[in-house]
Structure 1
Amino acid sequence: MRLVEPLQLIRTTARYLKENKIVSMPKWVPFVKTGVSKDRPPSDPDWWYVRCAAILRKLYIHDKGLGVSRLRRMYGGRHRMGHRNPHFAPGSGSVIRKALQQLEGAGLVEKSKKGRVLTKKGRQLLEEISESILKRQAGKT
């Protein structure tokens, strides 16, 4: 899993989540920003699936568990406020929370004492996708 380029893994996982209807895009997704520090909603129409895939990857890497507050810090950014000094602002908690709830419903994530962790099914899914990417790369060379 760690041998695969992160962006490629996230995009492939997002495509898999969308095609197999593992997660569904809520009605409010086209209108929401991903954090206070952002000026506009994302321009990618499939950003919800990309965010869900990125959360899965982060949960795989941080195998002890991650909570919503830690994920908000990871997806936060620089909040520019005109003439005032910019400060850090966390990402949208609602977006992360709803994504985690959908992934829990699909059986890929579960709650633990230290936040959310990947289930065996979630780990298996990411490892299968990364193996298929590695096989494709080996076939090209």
Structure 2
Amino acid sequence: MSTVKRSSVTLKDVDQHKFVKEFAKFLKKSGKLKVPEWVDLVKNGKHKELAPYDRDWYYVRCSALLRHIYIRSPVGVGAVTKIFGGRKRNGVCPSHYCRSSGSVARKALQSLEDLKLIERVGDEGRKITSHGRRDVDRIAAQVKRKKKEKMLDLGLTAAGSGTVVLPTVASA
């Protein structure tokens, strides 16, 4: 039985951090994502002391959320608050886990729904649409292409198994 080599690139083929950054840029550049007015004033949860420093944090949150829904679907607001929760420091008392803001999670999901990237699935939560999957895979392919171009610019060549072969320097 012969194996068929896929030429398409999916989200699972690229670095997650680079993908989230690139998709956040895509969301900001498109200008279609509806950003609430209060994003510059709000904390991301009661476990945080300050609001986010990054002005584009809402785009990053939406792209990270879309990535999570792509991998584990369906996802509801409660699951999102668990994902983005963290450690609440209680001074001299022991720290405890605390969920993130439900309003931020709900608005991020609603913003992605307005773009038709995700859709509701009854009471189960939200899942990615075919349009959303296409956009995610397209941005993932761009990320992979940029990585390949960067490797070629550095003079590195990739062997067949994905390992990097450093160029040898001829000694005199």
Q: Same fold (TM over 0.5)?
A: yes
- Provide the secondary structure at the position in 2 that maps to 1:2: helix
What is the correspondence of 1:1-141 to structure 2 with a 5 Å cutoff? 1-63=11-73, 65-113=74-122, 114-141=124-151
Runs of 4+, deviation exceeding 6 Å: none
Mean Cα deviation higher: 16-25 or 87-96: 16-25
Higher helix share: 1
Deviation at 1:22, TM superposition (A): 2.4
Whole-Å Cα distance in 2 between the matches of residues 23 and 102 of structure 1?
Answer: 6
Whole-Å Cα distance in 2 between the matches of residues 61 and 22 of structure 1?
Answer: 24
Whole-Å Cα distance in 1 between the matches of residues 101 and 38 of structure 2?
Answer: 13
The answer for unaligned runs of 5 or more in structure 2 is 1-10, 152-172
Q: 2:117, 2:132 within 8 Å by CA — same for their partners in 1?
A: yes
Q: Which has the greater radius of gyration?
A: 2
Aligned residues: 140
Amino acid at match of 1:78: R
Identity %: 37
Q: What's the TM-score, normalizing by structure 1?
A: 0.96
Q: What's the TM-score, normalizing by structure 2?
A: 0.79
